[in-house]
Structure 1
């Protein structure tokens, strides 16, 4: 049931805000989990805890999120003024009510435009469908900003890390994880995942952002062993291994849902418009303090691994050798 036209003018409510955009699947979530509380407050919005799920209400500065309700900066400023951490909330697909004792607030979602962020996996058939691999690496290199894991792009791309370098361990874990995901060595996947989970600072640690990059490439290519998703989901759902916010991102990514800053880069990679791709990659790299760079680092590692395995398979075929690959037939690596 949608609110009447004079709903927001009812004297019970100190203020009413209008949600402008809303992820298409959030209405179903609000139906299943009608109560919660204000989990955290940031400059660009707030997080609501609805059962075991998070809902972000705020600007689209860091992209349209798979668990996001978005509105303009002025509305967000008002929202942050009225709410406090741990305020109780009640929600329906059309309304979220904040029960602050002094400043009750209603967020009207009835006119919010639904959106979806989808990676167009049906357009990918083989590694050669990724048109902008060189441009991707060159842009990250020229960006000149190390990852949140302290890996420098120039040394990473030149294979310039030595065993006594602090970053060597990170680079080795990344390479060995991807080798396991592509060769199907299931027994070693978990230890490498645990190295990255929760590693780094911030609301979304850099190691988690790296894994989101891997998951995005897997969503496009379906090239990695199914144990990647199974093991990662098992750890994230059952252990307090990372932040609540990062857990939300990872769980959505495990279901193929990403922010539009991520989906737009992957979708642009399978088109031939170079300027469009570079613009979308720049948006990703600008995201957060290092989240976009760390996600790009994950994407880069995944693409390099796919290229390396394509070469290995071709070489093995030439000499009659065989090697197990986890890639689906659709990947055609």
Structure 2
């Protein structure tokens, strides 16, 4: 997979979700893009040099800049005939999605065996990384207890799952709290090894327990995409790197993810590493 030629692209999850939607609104704006809310899902529109998110659309920078300058939070957005129509105070702007290329962001399945995880370049790099001083949570005895429980507990035990998920969900600061990112990374590892059937209770419990009552709408949207089997482009690359034996290539993928958000990339990588540890022992 390669998106380095800066073309306009969208996740193949976007049209599937928008097919039965009509009325939305501008939810939030950032330096590099904005979220459009349709019911409980956030569609993220960014520029072509950004990593494509699971519910993402990457468009030309000038086009994005025009939208960003004209719209305000809570402005109405209508999806009609494969177009997003922004109803701004200044003027209406139409973004035609019909000719924007679809990118498959479904979670790929790892080809290696679980017993081979600890022998991969990716695992060895993550094992040596100083997560303690780079994630958004201060590691203390209580955090260590729940990290240990996350890695060692039976994921078919819903009572334990609930205790773990309630501890991590919403914990930390930011648009996606660090605890949510750790859970997302952990669950990504399980799904990338096609372990949904074996650890089905964990998948079910996390989808039920992470909601707007306990964390941010952005986290809920990410979890929703993950449970449906979709990831951001950078994490698709991370999963593929499990099969790569060239360390410089794997380092490059990891470095891109580290730069995401204030600590979000590191938090999710940490969760993914914990998921790999869990899988290699089960």
What TM-score do you get using the length of structure 2 for normalisation?
Answer: 0.89
Does the CA contact (< 8 Å) of 2:165 and 2:209 recur in 1? no
Does the CA contact (< 8 Å) of 1:31 and 1:92 recur in 2? no
Rounded to whole Å, the distance in 2 between the matches of 1:70 and 1:93 is 19
Q: Secondary structure at the match of 2:172?
A: coil
Change (3 A) 1:208 1:144: closer
1:59 to 43, 47, 64: 47
1:190 to 143, 148, 162: 162
Offset at residue 145 of structure 1 (A) = 4.5
Offset at residue 275 of structure 1 (A) = 1.9
Offset at residue 60 of structure 1 (A) = 5.5
1:70 aligns with 58
2:4 aligns with none
CA RMSD of aligned residues (A): 2.1
Q: Secondary structure at the match of 1:47?
A: strand
1:175 aligns with 148
- Name structure 1 gaps, 5 residues minimum: 1-18, 152-166, 310-332
Change (3 A) 1:144 1:194: closer
Is residue 137 of structure 1 aligned with residue 127 of structure 2? yes
Q: Secondary structure at the match of 2:19?
A: helix
Does the CA contact (< 8 Å) of 2:12 and 2:104 recur in 1? yes
1:97 aligns with 85
2:26 aligns with 38
Is residue 255 of structure 1 aligned with residue 228 of structure 2? yes
Q: How many residues align?
A: 272
Deviations 1:196-235 (A, max 9, x none): 0011111101000101111110012245621111111111
Rounded to whole Å, the distance in 2 between the matches of 1:118 and 1:267 is 12
Q: Secondary structure at the match of 1:173?
A: helix
Deviations 1:253-295 (A, max 9, x none): 1222111111211210122222211111111111111110000
Is residue 277 of structure 1 aligned with residue 250 of structure 2? yes
Q: Map 1:300-319 to 2 at 5 A.
A: 300-307=273-280, 309=281
Rounded to whole Å, the distance in 1 between the matches of 2:108 and 2:151 is 22
1:199 aligns with 171
Q: Secondary structure at the match of 1:36?
A: strand
Q: Secondary structure at the match of 2:210?
A: helix
1:212 aligns with 184
Is residue 125 of structure 1 aligned with residue 113 of structure 2? yes
1:236 aligns with 210
Is residue 87 of structure 1 aligned with residue 75 of structure 2? yes
2:219 aligns with 246
Does the CA contact (< 8 Å) of 1:95 and 1:107 recur in 2? yes
Q: Secondary structure at the match of 1:106?
A: strand
Rounded to whole Å, the distance in 2 between the matches of 1:304 and 1:93 is 46
Change (3 A) 1:202 1:64: same
Q: Secondary structure at the match of 2:153?
A: helix
1:6 aligns with none
User: Which structure: larger Rg?
Assistant: 1
2:199 aligns with 225
